[in-house]
Protein backbone atom coordinates (compact mmCIF):
# COMPACT_ATOMS: atom_id res chain seq x y z
CA UNK A 1 0.00 0.00 0.00
CA UNK A 2 1.33 3.39 -0.93
CA UNK A 3 -0.32 6.74 -1.61
CA UNK A 4 1.04 10.14 -2.44
CA UNK A 5 0.22 13.06 -0.17
CA UNK A 6 -0.72 16.43 -1.65
CA UNK A 7 -0.83 19.13 1.03
CA UNK A 8 -3.49 21.72 0.21
CA UNK A 9 -2.18 25.25 0.45
CA UNK A 10 -5.67 26.55 1.08
CA UNK A 11 -4.86 25.73 4.72
CA UNK A 12 -1.36 27.26 4.60
CA UNK A 13 -0.34 30.78 5.66
CA UNK A 14 -1.69 32.99 2.86
CA UNK A 15 0.82 35.68 3.73
CA UNK A 16 3.73 33.38 3.01
CA UNK A 17 2.62 31.10 0.22
CA UNK A 18 5.78 30.44 -1.76
CA UNK A 19 7.70 29.65 1.44
CA UNK A 20 4.86 27.38 2.58
CA UNK A 21 5.08 25.50 -0.72
CA UNK A 22 8.84 25.08 -0.27
CA UNK A 23 8.34 23.84 3.30
CA UNK A 24 5.79 21.26 2.20
CA UNK A 25 8.21 20.00 -0.43
CA UNK A 26 10.99 19.77 2.15
CA UNK A 27 8.76 17.73 4.46
CA UNK A 28 8.39 15.25 1.60
CA UNK A 29 5.13 16.31 -0.08
CA UNK A 30 4.61 14.40 -3.32
CA UNK A 31 2.41 17.04 -4.91
CA UNK A 32 1.05 20.43 -3.93
CA UNK A 33 -2.72 20.85 -4.12
CA UNK A 34 -3.95 24.30 -5.15
CA UNK A 35 -7.68 25.02 -4.80
CA UNK A 36 -9.01 27.56 -7.26
CA UNK A 37 -12.50 28.88 -6.45
CA UNK A 38 -14.53 31.58 -8.16
CA UNK A 39 -17.24 32.30 -5.58
CA UNK A 40 -19.73 30.84 -8.04
CA UNK A 41 -19.10 27.13 -8.39
CA UNK A 42 -17.96 27.07 -4.77
CA UNK A 43 -18.99 29.51 -2.02
CA UNK A 44 -15.48 30.86 -1.56
CA UNK A 45 -12.86 32.88 -3.44
CA UNK A 46 -9.28 31.76 -3.46
CA UNK A 47 -6.35 32.00 -5.86
CA UNK A 48 -5.67 32.90 -9.46
CA UNK A 49 -2.99 31.83 -11.93
CA UNK A 50 -0.61 34.41 -10.44
CA UNK A 51 -0.07 32.27 -7.36
CA UNK A 52 0.61 29.17 -9.45
CA UNK A 53 3.15 31.17 -11.46
CA UNK A 54 4.84 32.42 -8.29
CA UNK A 55 5.13 28.96 -6.77
CA UNK A 56 6.18 27.13 -9.95
CA UNK A 57 9.88 28.05 -9.98
CA UNK A 58 10.24 27.50 -6.23
CA UNK A 59 9.41 23.79 -6.08
CA UNK A 60 10.01 20.75 -8.26
CA UNK A 61 6.96 18.71 -7.20
CA UNK A 62 3.84 18.65 -9.40
CA UNK A 63 1.30 21.42 -8.92
CA UNK A 64 -2.13 19.87 -8.69
CA UNK A 65 -4.65 22.57 -9.54
CA UNK A 66 -8.23 21.85 -8.57
CA UNK A 67 -10.43 24.21 -10.54
CA UNK A 68 -13.70 24.79 -8.71
CA UNK A 69 -14.90 27.16 -11.39
CA UNK A 70 -18.30 27.52 -13.03
CA UNK A 71 -16.62 28.12 -16.42
CA UNK A 72 -13.28 26.29 -16.31
CA UNK A 73 -12.86 26.53 -20.09
CA UNK A 74 -12.37 30.30 -19.73
CA UNK A 75 -9.37 29.98 -17.43
CA UNK A 76 -7.75 26.61 -18.11
CA UNK A 77 -5.10 28.00 -20.44
CA UNK A 78 -3.99 30.59 -17.90
CA UNK A 79 -3.42 27.90 -15.31
CA UNK A 80 -1.42 25.65 -17.61
CA UNK A 81 0.63 28.64 -18.80
CA UNK A 82 1.30 29.46 -15.15
CA UNK A 83 2.72 25.98 -14.62
CA UNK A 84 -0.06 23.67 -13.41
CA UNK A 85 0.87 20.00 -13.95
CA UNK A 86 -2.49 18.44 -13.16
CA UNK A 87 -5.59 20.47 -13.95
CA UNK A 88 -8.82 19.06 -12.59
CA UNK A 89 -12.17 20.42 -13.70
CA UNK A 90 -15.51 19.51 -12.22
CA UNK A 91 -17.86 17.07 -13.88
CA UNK A 92 -20.72 19.35 -12.81
CA UNK A 93 -19.23 22.36 -14.64
CA UNK A 94 -18.46 20.91 -18.09
CA UNK A 95 -20.25 19.78 -21.21
CA UNK A 96 -18.83 17.47 -23.85
CA UNK A 97 -17.85 20.54 -25.89
CA UNK A 98 -16.13 22.43 -23.08
CA UNK A 99 -14.36 19.33 -21.78
CA UNK A 100 -13.06 18.49 -25.25
CA UNK A 101 -11.67 22.02 -25.50
CA UNK A 102 -10.14 21.81 -22.01
CA UNK A 103 -8.55 18.49 -22.92
CA UNK A 104 -7.04 19.97 -26.08
CA UNK A 105 -5.52 22.89 -24.18
CA UNK A 106 -4.03 20.61 -21.54
CA UNK A 107 -2.61 18.29 -24.20
CA UNK A 108 -1.09 21.17 -26.12
CA UNK A 109 0.99 21.98 -23.04
CA UNK A 110 1.65 18.33 -22.26
CA UNK A 111 -0.06 18.49 -18.88
CA UNK A 112 -2.55 16.15 -17.26
CA UNK A 113 -6.33 16.31 -17.09
CA UNK A 114 -8.29 15.39 -13.99
CA UNK A 115 -12.05 15.14 -13.55
CA UNK A 116 -13.39 16.14 -10.14
CA UNK A 117 -16.65 14.93 -8.63
CA UNK A 118 -18.61 16.50 -5.77
CA UNK A 119 -19.71 14.02 -3.11
CA UNK A 120 -23.21 13.65 -4.60
CA UNK A 121 -22.10 13.38 -8.25
CA UNK A 122 -21.89 9.88 -9.70
CA UNK A 123 -18.80 8.89 -11.65
CA UNK A 124 -21.06 7.94 -14.55
CA UNK A 125 -21.78 11.64 -15.18
CA UNK A 126 -18.67 11.78 -17.38
CA UNK A 127 -18.02 9.09 -19.95
CA UNK A 128 -14.32 8.70 -19.31
CA UNK A 129 -13.61 6.68 -22.39
CA UNK A 130 -14.23 9.80 -24.49
CA UNK A 131 -11.33 11.67 -22.88
CA UNK A 132 -7.71 11.22 -21.95
CA UNK A 133 -8.12 11.44 -18.19
CA UNK A 134 -5.08 11.09 -15.92
CA UNK A 135 -6.88 11.55 -12.62
CA UNK A 136 -10.25 11.17 -10.96
CA UNK A 137 -10.61 13.57 -8.04
CA UNK A 138 -13.22 12.33 -5.61
CA UNK A 139 -14.33 15.05 -3.23
CA UNK A 140 -15.13 13.85 0.26
CA UNK A 141 -16.48 17.24 1.40
CA UNK A 142 -18.52 19.78 -0.52
CA UNK A 143 -16.37 22.36 -2.34
CA UNK A 144 -15.58 25.54 -0.46
CA UNK A 145 -13.52 25.27 2.68
CA UNK A 146 -10.76 23.43 4.44
CA UNK A 147 -11.40 21.77 7.75
CA UNK A 148 -14.77 20.17 6.91
CA UNK A 149 -15.77 16.74 8.12
CA UNK A 150 -14.96 13.78 5.89
CA UNK A 151 -18.05 12.19 4.28
CA UNK A 152 -17.60 8.41 4.52
CA UNK A 153 -20.34 7.76 1.97
CA UNK A 154 -17.85 8.54 -0.80
CA UNK A 155 -15.76 5.45 -0.03
CA UNK A 156 -17.70 3.19 -2.44
CA UNK A 157 -17.07 5.81 -5.12
CA UNK A 158 -13.33 5.63 -4.47
CA UNK A 159 -13.55 1.86 -4.91
CA UNK A 160 -15.55 2.27 -8.09
CA UNK A 161 -13.03 4.76 -9.47
CA UNK A 162 -10.18 2.40 -8.73
CA UNK A 163 -11.83 -0.25 -10.90
CA UNK A 164 -11.18 2.10 -13.81
CA UNK A 165 -7.58 2.02 -12.78
CA UNK A 166 -7.25 -1.72 -13.23
CA UNK A 167 -9.29 -1.56 -16.42
CA UNK A 168 -6.85 1.00 -17.81
CA UNK A 169 -3.74 -0.88 -16.80
CA UNK A 170 -1.93 0.33 -19.91
CA UNK A 171 -1.73 3.88 -18.56
CA UNK A 172 -1.56 5.38 -15.16
CA UNK A 173 -4.68 6.79 -13.61
CA UNK A 174 -4.52 8.57 -10.26
CA UNK A 175 -7.41 8.37 -7.82
CA UNK A 176 -7.29 11.41 -5.58
CA UNK A 177 -9.44 11.91 -2.49
CA UNK A 178 -9.95 15.48 -1.34
CA UNK A 179 -11.57 16.74 1.85
CA UNK A 180 -11.31 15.86 5.52
CA UNK A 181 -8.47 13.39 5.01
CA UNK A 182 -6.62 12.69 8.25
CA UNK A 183 -4.99 9.97 10.31
CA UNK A 184 -8.37 8.35 11.01
CA UNK A 185 -9.30 7.63 7.39
CA UNK A 186 -6.11 7.72 5.29
CA UNK A 187 -5.41 4.00 5.43
CA UNK A 188 -8.98 3.05 4.68
CA UNK A 189 -8.91 5.32 1.63
CA UNK A 190 -5.74 3.68 0.35
CA UNK A 191 -7.20 0.24 0.92
CA UNK A 192 -10.14 1.30 -1.21
CA UNK A 193 -7.95 2.43 -4.07
CA UNK A 194 -6.90 6.02 -3.43
CA UNK A 195 -3.48 6.81 -4.88
CA UNK A 196 -3.27 10.49 -3.85
CA UNK A 197 -4.60 12.02 -0.63
CA UNK A 198 -5.12 15.75 -0.30
CA UNK A 199 -4.40 17.05 3.20
CA UNK A 200 -5.27 20.59 4.25
CA UNK A 201 -6.04 21.06 7.91
CA UNK A 202 -4.66 17.67 8.95
CA UNK A 203 -1.22 19.06 8.06
CA UNK A 204 -1.24 22.85 7.97
CA UNK A 205 -3.54 23.43 10.96
CA UNK A 206 -1.48 21.25 13.30
CA UNK A 207 0.91 22.60 15.89
CA UNK A 208 3.88 20.63 14.51
CA UNK A 209 3.08 20.62 10.81
CA UNK A 210 6.12 18.71 9.68
CA UNK A 211 5.46 15.94 12.22
CA UNK A 212 1.78 15.82 11.20
CA UNK A 213 2.74 15.51 7.55
CA UNK A 214 5.25 12.75 8.23
CA UNK A 215 2.87 10.77 10.38
CA UNK A 216 0.27 10.84 7.62
CA UNK A 217 2.82 9.84 5.05
CA UNK A 218 4.09 6.95 7.15
CA UNK A 219 0.56 5.74 7.63
CA UNK A 220 0.06 5.36 3.89
CA UNK A 221 3.19 3.41 3.34
CA UNK A 222 6.12 5.73 2.92
CA UNK A 223 9.35 4.96 4.72
CA UNK A 224 10.56 8.38 5.83
C1 LIG B 1 -12.29 21.99 -0.45
C2 LIG B 1 -10.96 21.84 -1.14
C3 LIG B 1 -9.99 20.97 -0.44
C4 LIG B 1 -9.50 21.48 0.90
C5 LIG B 1 -9.09 20.31 1.74
O6 LIG B 1 -13.15 22.70 -1.27
O7 LIG B 1 -11.13 21.29 -2.43
O8 LIG B 1 -8.86 20.70 -1.26
O9 LIG B 1 -8.40 22.36 0.77
O10 LIG B 1 -8.88 20.73 3.04
P11 LIG B 1 -9.07 19.73 4.25
O12 LIG B 1 -8.06 18.62 4.08
O13 LIG B 1 -8.82 20.57 5.47
O14 LIG B 1 -10.48 19.19 4.20
ZN1 LIG C 1 -9.23 20.59 -3.57
Ligand 1 atom closest to the Cα of residue 201 is: 13
Cα(64)–Cα(98) distance, integer angstroms: 20
Cα(146) to centroid(ligand 1), Å: 4
Task: Indicate if the alpha-carbon torsion angle 181, 220, 89, 14 is positive or negative.
Answer: positive
Q: How far is CA 160 from the centre of its chain?
A: 18
Closest by CA to 68, choosing from 84, 54, 88, is 88
pTM of the model: 0.97
* Domain ranges (residues) in the chain: 4-219
Does domain 4-219 fall under CATH 1.10.3470.10? My reply is: no
From residue 176, give the alpha-carbon distance in Å to each of 116, 136, 181, 182.
Answer: 9, 6, 11, 14
- Which residues are registered as beta bridge partners of 33? 8, 64
Split the chain (224 residues) into runs of 10 and give each run's mean pLDDT: 94 98 98 98 98 98 99 98 98 98 98 98 94 97 98 98 70 92 97 97 98 97 65
Q: Whose CA is nearest to atom 6 of ligand 1?
A: 143
Amino acid sequence: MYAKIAPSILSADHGDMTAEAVRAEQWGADWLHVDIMDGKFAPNLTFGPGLVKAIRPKVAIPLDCHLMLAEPEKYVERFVEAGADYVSVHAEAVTHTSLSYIQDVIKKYNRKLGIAFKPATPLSSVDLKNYDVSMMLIMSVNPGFSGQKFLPEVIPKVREASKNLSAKSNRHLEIEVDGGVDLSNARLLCENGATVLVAGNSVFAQRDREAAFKELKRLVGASI
